[in-house]
Structure 1
Amino acid sequence: MLSAQAVPVVRATLPAVGASLNTITERFYQRMFEERPELLRHLFNRANQVNGAQREALAGSVAAFATLLVERPDERPDERSDAILSRIAHKHVSLGITADKYTLVGRHLLAAVAEVLGDAVTPQVAAAWDEVYWLMANSLIAMEARLYAQASVQDGDVWRQMDIAERHQESPDAVSLVLRRPDARPATAFQPGQYVSVRVELPDGGHQIRQYSLSTAPGHKTWRITVKREKSADGTALDGEVSSWLHAHARPGRTLEVSLPAGDLVLPDADTPLLLASAGIGITPMLSMLDHLALTSSTRPVTVIHADRTPADHVHRDEQAELIDRLLGATLHLWYENNADQHPALNVSPGRATLDNLTLPEDTTAYLCGPLPFMRAVRGDLLRKGLHPSAVHYEVFGPDLWLSK
């Protein structure tokens, strides 16, 4: 918890710091990469540095955490900030981040605050925000240590070699890769909805890492990921440099560097109703959940909604329908922005997804994955239908910008 002397200082300076956080985080990354350029080359997502998404996500998480601290300063931060920090901790574990990195980050982040705010950062202000940072950092360090321990690995020891056993073209822009261990033993267990990181060496010698959901249930001897080739709106190559590399080079017989599974959007055992809502490539964690439900002969009521551009862009379309057919009480509702009339299934609608005509039990638990506008719209529909905010869970592919918007 924040010290008594820090609370009024953080409360008084939070508006100024919050208003400048995007500038502060931009300067933070500049400083850190000037000292440690290899971090940008081999660890951080270069595309997210170019488009500013990583800076925006960091600013949003710091602001949200600091706000929680000053609203209820007498509570331990990890008792009420799990929603903010858990996603970050899982992402860090999938990258192999270790506790020593937090000293480097803290030094440059607090220096950036001082540079941007200038004389307003008195020694008292600097000390108070140092407390905020280390409360957040120590909570993350503790979470990440628990995740490493649960995986029975040393901190940071998450990278493994996986062979590509199969490759399938799922749509014009998406391929699935079946991965197996080189020793043919069963792949590491995971929870339905989790993801792995894939690290590749690019032509310039840099290593880049991206996360891909595991798109089948646990219990198989292999893993499967589905990779959509990313295309940037402005035509730059950076946005899709890993997905493009995988589309061009990932073939059966090749070996990839893949992390242990991570991610906090997981399907717990229960018997309450479910809503699985996805758009585009966001279908992949939902497929893992559906596969798990089918393999375990679940009788939970399940409502599945999926939105896509066209039926041809809908990856794993037939597989999704087959899994739902295997579940008693499961229903599928589809929306296509274009060519909806080309899909013969029931419950196909043109345009964007809406829950207006769906009736959901009040004890429904919802899982969302897809573009942020889609998830915000679906979450709003769910809250209007009476679901409690704690019953709505989501996964973001890339930096979590939910808190920063």
Structure 2
Amino acid sequence: MTGLLQRRPKCTDQQPALSQLLLEWYDRHHRDLPWRISPSMAKAGHTPDPYHIWLSEVMLQQTTVQAVKPYFAKFLALWPRVTDLAAADSEDVMKAWAGLGYYARARNLKKCAEVVARDHGGHFPDTEEGLKALPGIGDYTAAAIAAIAFNRHAAVLDGNIERVVSRLYAVETPLPTAKPHLRSLTGLITPTDRPGDFAQAVMDLGSSICTPKRPVCSLCPLNAHCLAFRDHNPETFPRKAAKKAKPVRVGAAFVAVDATPAVYLQKRGETGLLGGMTEVPGTEWTSRIDGETSVSAQPFAADWQVQGVVTHVFTHFELRLTVYRADVSKRGMAGNGWWEPVETLKEQALPTVMKKVIAQAMPDAFKQSVNLRGTS
């Protein structure tokens, strides 16, 4: 191990070569993304819109670029400026977000827009510290916005960058423990000139060449500097701690359909998981495997029939919902719910787990008409 450590180059020695090589590669091979200012656009005098960068970065958390593109376009069409988003109805924002997942992001998006509009005159702070003071903006998002939108020297560290840097320096410490060290290394190799382009270059490298499996090392502009490539083991980085099995929660969901046809819906509370989203009635989600999943938890009296079990995996647990359906001639009511026509279901803020539940309970014709099969 001592010999290996002695052979490892210092970041400060590599920084100029690494940044120059990567920026030259980025100028030729960058991805064209709707929120990005390309190198040619930058040369023509275009500058990034902080609102676009912030919106895209929030949407991209735990979500793929391809999934985000249509949502980004939809939000800009509905709310072209951050002040427009701040003035929007919260329910409309949740509806526009439906299907993108991780719904706390949408709630924080609205809160952040309101703070920027109210306290900052519709302009985002241009420093990491100022950005981190806003709702829903953590270390990564603040660094990304500061670097990309405001050309600040900031260590941007997302999953792609973690992978590239951990391979570049053969970082043996497993994630997530290695994050502070990887952030420090990233800061050392980030140039003061074009730090935003550098961060996006590393992201593009991780997306296209330094991929989790079968990285195309022969095409990598940094392969002459990469310790994992030299030692023929890039796929073993980043090191990761053993994953623990996700706990299981259970519950029941009740899909009531009337003759019009319409489905009975209600709104979840504003706080907690899926807060503010639309759902069908159901039980609490409990970690007790013998938890309440029976028809006795029905929201109102009807001929409820079991339709099967839907499984949905959240970040921290796996949910198994027993799905019931009742075809009703007389509309029952529970709490402050409402009957939503089938043809407008797709306009409601239904999270993916609820789309799965309704799709499980409804005939194929209904599934196709409201496009409930999508999972995102």
Structure with the largest fraction of strand: 1
Q: Which has the larger radius of gyration?
A: 2
Smaller-chain TM-score range?
Answer: under 0.3
Output the TM-score relative to the length of structure 2: 0.25
TM-score, normalised relative to structure 1: 0.24
